A and B are shown apart, each in its own frame.
Chain A
């Protein structure tokens, strides 16, 4: 784990978004491992403990991000997770955290609307890492 103390995992099936996030997160001084799919992310999680993970909500499945959150929590319970989504609240797709039962298993630490600016992203990451 010591080797990975600057490592952030980013999973997104949108190559452009992934590229941009990778660029920014690297510019903040972190190392980055990218995953293009839920599956790829699962493999990475299995063998690596990052300091933070950023997951897209909708990848192969509409709820890929939730599944990754869940698996991440089981494997590395202390790693903060950001769930990024392009689905705005205005479209009415709820995150499914309305019930207590859901709240228990969807354990993202932060929901981020995609299109977040660099500075804010940096701030949010630092906040979660208590930097």
Chain B
């Protein structure tokens, strides 16, 4: 378990011991974290003491009361901002001084906890701040490993996340203002669209989780000998209801009983993305062929469709994050624009290769080569 050092600065011994009692037995775990997070609490009664401790000891989080006997909480905050900006400060403040709390957050406190707080409030505040510390650590780690989180990515991501929110927000306001009159049926379309946009957003979030998973690193402890056909079959079954509606048939061939040593979750992501794309961007009565082959050194996965195809420019950008082919034909197809970039990263992780051949109106063939 990872322990975070929490310093509670308050002149009331009761508050200090209360915080200690609550946090000493509190742990946080998230599905996306490798280890749980627990807390060590350091209790101090004055601002002067707090500054001494920060100079001499490692502290992650400071719970800081503003009203202190000597120097005030804001002075301590000021010192931390100047000298140890990596320390996250949570101001403890009474409800009456909410204004002060807002001022404090403007002045660099990470957050504030209104006093009196319940154990649950303290815990959820600490949960948030821990998540923040974890993500910050991840970012640093990725930077160290050269997997820079590109600023561009985050900007585009925020755009992609805000677009559906704006759309839904817009519809809700239209409904609130009864823009389409009093007949409730007039709003059906707006409601349908809102639900649709939420669905898209959910897909995007799922894709982001996939992406985070790859960014973490290749986890060889989950490696096992995987029957590739089984995973492909699962992916086909998952997309089949949609394929049936579009009248697209999917075939799977695996003459050599292909196997690979891999994390089955990774291979699943690859197939899910490729096969669902092959169906989504297909035509009515279209076909999808999934072909598994191997030679001495490599496993070869081919996913071929008879869909709308792409031009050269589009195939060039195809593996870029958030790239989507925009045309009359793709307008109503749901996608986050992340799927293939995820696949590409995944394949890179396995030192493999992914290629695409495509012709407008004819279809596309994706070929993946993975060393075995």
Residues of A within 8 A of B (CB): 13-17, 19-20, 23, 27, 36-37, 58-60, 86-88, 91-93, 114-115, 117-118
Bound-complex Cα distance A19 to B174 (A): 11
A-B contact pairs, 11 of them (CB 8 A): A14-B163, A14-B167, A16-B170, A17-B163, A17-B166, A23-B174, A27-B179, A36-B331, A37-B326, A60-B326, A87-B158
Further contacts, 16 of them, CB under 8 A, given A91-B159, A115-B166: A13-B326, A14-B166, A14-B167, A15-B193, A16-B193, A16-B197, A17-B163, A20-B170, A27-B179, A36-B331, A86-B159, A88-B162, A93-B155, A114-B166, A115-B169, A118-B173
- Whether B151 is near chain A, meaning CB under 8 Å from some CB there, is yes
Residue of B nearest to A87 (CB): B159
Residue of B nearest to A85 (CB): B159
Q: Does A92 contact B155, Cβ atoms closer than 8 Å?
A: yes
Least CB distance from A67 to B in Å reads 15
Given A15-B331, A20-B174, A118-B177: A87 in contact with B193 (beta carbons within 8 A)? no
Residues of B within 8 A of A (CB): 151, 154-155, 158-159, 162-163, 166-167, 169-171, 173-174, 177, 179, 193, 197, 326, 331
Q: Does B179 contact A23, Cβ atoms closer than 8 Å?
A: yes
SS class, residues of chain A in contact with chain B: loop
> Which of A23, A36, A86 is in CB contact (< 8 Å) with B166?
A86
Q: Does A17 contact B167, Cβ atoms closer than 8 Å?
A: yes
Given A16-B171, A17-B170: A86 in contact with B177 (beta carbons within 8 A)? no
Q: Does B151 contact A92, Cβ atoms closer than 8 Å?
A: yes
- Residues of B close to A20: CB separation below 8 A: 167, 170-171, 174
Least CB distance from A47 to B in Å reads 20
Bound-complex Cα distance A20 to B174 (A): 8
Bound-complex Cα distance A90 to B166 (A): 16
Bound-complex Cα distance A17 to B164 (A): 9
Least CB distance from A110 to B in Å reads 18
Least CB distance from A57 to B in Å reads 9
Residue of A nearest to B167 (CB): A16
Bound-complex Cα distance A114 to B161 (A): 13
- Residues of B close to A87: CB separation below 8 A: 155, 158-159, 162
Q: Does B158 contact A91, Cβ atoms closer than 8 Å?
A: yes
Residue of B nearest to A23 (CB): B179
Q: Among the interface residues A23, A59, A114, A117, which one has the most CB atoms of the partner chain B within 10 A?
A: A114
- Residues of A close to B170: CB separation below 8 A: 16-17, 20, 115
Bound-complex Cα distance A20 to B158 (A): 21
Least CB distance from A121 to B in Å reads 11
Given A15-B331, A23-B174, A27-B179: A91 in contact with B155 (beta carbons within 8 A)? yes
Bound-complex Cα distance A88 to B158 (A): 9
Q: Does A117 contact B173, Cβ atoms closer than 8 Å?
A: yes
Q: Among the interface residues B166, B179, B193, B197, which one has the most CB atoms of the partner chain A within 10 A?
A: B166
> Which of A19, A37, A59, A86 is in CB contact (< 8 Å) with B162?
A86
- Residues of B close to A91: CB separation below 8 A: 154-155, 158-159
Bound-complex Cα distance A17 to B193 (A): 11
Q: Does A86 contact B163, Cβ atoms closer than 8 Å?
A: yes
Least CB distance from B162 to A in Å reads 5
